[in-house]
A = this chain, B = another copy of it.
């Protein structure tokens, strides 16, 4: 099941590219989607970095955006190195293969531990922090059996179900997606478990720099990483309006299978999972329920990187274009509102060439005036 040949696929970044990628993703107003747009437009992170101030100025930024310096990126790489961590780019062989398929996949992941587990097909197991004894026991049982069947177990290193799932898959391969930096587990008490993972058959991943304390708003992105890495996601005990349900929603949006463990209607910790079952999640009372559903999806070709995922080799000429005219810029800005519209609609509505529309949107984005939505829509940031 674990397809070793996948590790030889993909294109490794040069060190120079890696530094440019890190600078670009750490610069103001550059998120994963904007990052990809910039690479698509300018052919490389280095060229994009050169264009950033000019683009944001053209987009109407009130002040020049901060571009991460070469020195900062080198310091972050050094720090990672001293922690025994590295950065993996989205087109590289060690990048989790399913994660690269989601909208907004991080261009660079800080990773620490055994990278082999990232290329195995993965199953997410998440759930309540205040889990019941029986819920933790069952999460462990699932993680153990699904792990033995050749899957990596992905979870969020939280208390309760997450902890039980990681612990039970320490020997077979477990991946923690973290909301803060790799040195900032939440809850802090899980620092020991994190060490056991990264010293053994486990892997920890994060989008954030070392030293980053996770804030509430970082957890939804962590949840997307879990859902994005997993072929299927199992929710074991979850209250209504819990993070686990957001992860399940993400998984469903990514076209991944969602499994839920049933529980008593009188236990609040099962309201979320029972609700998922009502919405069509696969009822899970044994590891086989998961394994049998996943078997047809675990074919090796799913783990092939998609061709557009990486950056072309350094010598490819960047696809530079003339800047848009002020008139074009104005028409595009007028076509937008705070109600999301699809980019294709903007192109049709304005009659301006697609490449130009994309570039103007990039400018607005870097100026902090554009919001990008999960489905590819764009809207203006409320003033």
**Interface residue tally on A, bucketed by range:** 20 to 34
Residue with the greatest number of chain B CB neighbours at <10 A, chosen from A138, A263, A264, A278: A264
Asked if A274 is an interface residue, CB under 8 A from chain B, the answer is yes
Q: Which of A34-42, A265-273, A341-349, A361-369 faces chain B?
A: A265-273
Residue with the greatest number of chain B CB neighbours at <10 A, chosen from A137, A263, A277: A263
Residue with the greatest number of chain B CB neighbours at <10 A, chosen from A138, A261, A285: A285
Asked if residues B265 and A138 are in contact (CB atoms below 8 Å), the reply is: yes
A125 to B289, CA, bound (A): 28
Q: List the B residue with the shortest CB-CB distance to A236.
A: B265
Asked if A283 is an interface residue, CB under 8 A from chain B, the answer is yes
What is the CB-to-nearest-CB distance from A141 to chain B, in angstroms, rounded to a whole number? 8
Asked if A107 is an interface residue, CB under 8 A from chain B, the answer is no
Asked if residues B271 and A285 are in contact (CB atoms below 8 Å), the reply is: yes
A289 to B274, CA, bound (A): 12
Q: List the B residue with the shortest CB-CB distance to A260.
A: B262
Asked if A5 is an interface residue, CB under 8 A from chain B, the answer is no
A267 to B274, CA, bound (A): 16
Contacting residues, chain B, for A137 (C-beta < 8 A): 266
Contacting residues, chain B, for A270 (C-beta < 8 A): 262
What is the CB-to-nearest-CB distance from A372 to chain B, in angstroms, rounded to a whole number? 37
Asked if A325 is an interface residue, CB under 8 A from chain B, the answer is no
Contacting residues, chain B, for A285 (C-beta < 8 A): 265, 271, 274, 278
A294 to B352, CA, bound (A): 55
For residues 264 through 313 of chain A, which have their beta carbon under 8 Å from a beta carbon of chain B? 264-267, 270-271, 274, 277-278, 283-286, 289
Asked if A14 is an interface residue, CB under 8 A from chain B, the answer is no
Beyond A262-B264, A277-B283, 8 additional contacts (C-beta under 8 Å) are A134-B267, A138-B264, A138-B265, A138-B266, A262-B262, A265-B286, A274-B285, A278-B283
Residue from B261, B266, B277 within 8 A of A265 (CB atoms): B261
Q: List 19 A-B contacts (CB under 8 A).
A: A134-B264, A134-B266, A134-B267, A138-B264, A138-B265, A261-B265, A262-B263, A262-B264, A262-B274, A262-B277, A263-B263, A265-B284, A265-B286, A271-B285, A274-B283, A274-B285, A277-B277, A277-B283, A278-B283
